[in-house]
A and B are shown apart, each in its own frame.
Chain A
Amino acid sequence: MTEARTRGPLPRTRRQIYEDRLRRRSLLIAGGSTALVFGALFLLIPLAPGWEKVQRVFFNGEVFARTLPGLLEAFVLDVAIFAWSVPMIAVLGLLVALARDVSNPALYPLRIFATVFTDVFRGVPVVLTVYLIGFGIPGLGLPRPWNSPYIWGTVALVLTYSAYVAEIFRSGIESVHASQRAAAQSLGLRDKDVMRYVILPQAIRRVVPAQMNMLIALQKDVALLSFIGPVEIFRQAGVYKSLMANFTPYVGAALIFLAVTVPATRYADYLLAKQRRQRS
């Protein structure tokens, strides 16, 4: 037997041959049907009566090439707002999540505050919060730089997203089995150490994919700040649109967002799938 094995590669089993054939067949069918659908779209869409106009106004190669560098430059502001919002959201979200479960009676007001906070900021549309805080607070006549809608718009995003992120943290904390808490308590750990060293590390790991999805949503919602002033990418696209009487800059802006969000979404899905495999 050993002799036969050393002589060459193992002969393929009947099962392997069958599975290979199956795989080739599904590949062929998938490829064929995809080609058919996309081919039809490519051929049929240009036949539509308005296609030429749509192409000129939305998919204008020349406009695209001319505006892309400017759009990318404006996108840096989106990324900056995003980047300094994230740590604040993470901290505030975690604090709110913890505050909602405090049992110390002296801290009861904190608990009420955290509950109201999550209810309010999850209940109001983001764009309204951005308007109210972004225009409202600078309207108080604060001195510079505290009258900047750039700051208060970001604050609005941070508050809204902290409310969502807090709820996700809370669901993570609740998903850690009660036996983990019991084991930690039985060792004589104090409640705050049980939370900090036993519950939270497990809870946070579990909600990473869900929080990734929040980050992706945040990256897109940064564009809402364009309504109150900062010249980020959406605003910049609007400027180009007016200048060139062409909508292609919006398509360019959409493509830039996709270039960031699609890989991030895929990565979040990958993390989620990995976690599911590990837990089963």
Chain B
Amino acid sequence: MTKLRLDGVVKRFGANTVCDGIDLEVEAGQMVCLIGASGAGKSTLLRCINLLEPIEEGAIWLDGEDISIPGLDPQPVRTRIGMVFQSFNLFPHMTAAENVMLAPRRVHGQSRDELMPKVEELFRRFGLGDRLHHYPDQLSGGQQQRVAIVRALAMRPEVMLFDEVTSALDPQLVGEVLDVLRVLKEEGMTMVLATHEMGFAREAADKVCFLKDGRIVEEGPPSQIFGAPEREETRAFLARTLK
């Protein structure tokens, strides 16, 4: 079943075309990795999917429903699509647990008491058991990013978007966040990642898309993209990043 489909998505900032006719299909439970040089348009594409940016042309379909109709209220769609950012973006004036509970409380009207057991459960599962009442600046980068993931998961999204979620982390903290992504894949979450972790993409992705100048130059299973890329641009990019 196709969970998410992009049809010729075009995004411009003024005269600058950042996404230039993107077609993409994501099956339910799939992990799709977007790779490409910085400035290729990976972040912008994810922001468009989450309706943080309006698109100029094309359409985005979630479960067969066009979510890119101009004038459509983006709010209900955003509750169905979770997003995690490179810079964590936790709310610094709230504890980890408050960060996680804010949206379920305000959007779904759930109470603190009914949420707390679920939040504790999520924290335990991702190795954050004793960090519930810490403020973001009392947590390591890896812990902050795991709280940000839990915060998005608490809305029970159908799709998760990850924008270079390990790029701001010290190398020794990258692994703990990638482990979380592996668990989510195991549980059948549908995910789209922009990433520079080529090893992880090769091992865990179902599909890899190579972006250049706002276009998907080549896509396919990781074995093809990393093992036998067909396009010259892909080969050049991989040669540059992998050594």
Contacts and interface: CB of A to CB of B under 8 A. Distances in A.
Interface string A176-209: 0001101111111110010001100110010000
A189 B89 contact: no
B92 interface: yes
Contacts of A190: 75, 106-107
Interface in B134-190: 148, 151-152, 155
A187 B52 contact: no
Contacts of B50: 186
B92 A182 contact: no
B89 A188 contact: no
A35 to B, nearest CB: 45
Contacts of A187: 78-79, 82, 102-103, 107, 151-152, 155
Interface in B24-51: 47, 50
A202 to B, nearest CB: 6
A205 B91 CA distance: 13
Contacts of B152: 186-187
Interface of A: 179-180, 182-190, 193, 197-198, 201-202, 205
Given A188-B76, A188-B107, A182 B89 contact: yes
Contacts of B106: 189-190, 193, 197
Given A179-B87, A184-B102, A187-B107, 6 more contacts: A183-B83, A187-B79, A187-B82, A187-B151, A189-B103, A189-B106
Contact of A186 (B52, B76, B92): B52
Contacts of B47: 182
Interface of B: 47, 50, 52, 74-76, 78-83, 85, 87, 89-93, 102-103, 106-107, 148, 151-152, 155
Provide the main secondary structure of the chain A interface.
helix
A179 B89 contact: yes
Contacts of A197: 91, 102, 106
Given A187-B102, A188-B103, A197-B106, A202 B93 contact: yes
A186 B82 contact: yes
Contacts of B89: 179-180, 182-183
Contacts of A183: 83, 85, 89-91, 148
Given A187-B107, A188-B76, A180 B52 contact: no
Contacts of B90: 183
Nearest to A204: B93
A204 to B, nearest CB: 10
Nearest to A188: B79
Contacts of A184: 91, 102
Contacts of B81: 186
A182 B155 contact: no
B52 A185 contact: yes
A193 B103 CA distance: 9
Contacts of B82: 186-187
Given A180-B89, A182-B89, A197-B106, A188 B52 contact: no
- Most chain A Cβ neighbours within 10 Å, of B78, B79, B90, B155: B78
Contacts of B155: 187-188
A197 B104 CA distance: 13
Contacts of A180: 89, 91
Contact of B75 (A182, A188, A201): A188
Given A186-B50, A187-B78, A188-B75, A198 B107 contact: no
A187 B89 CA distance: 12
Contacts of A193: 106-107
Q: Ordered nearest first, which 3 A-B pairs have the shortest CB separation? A: A188-B79, A183-B89, A187-B103
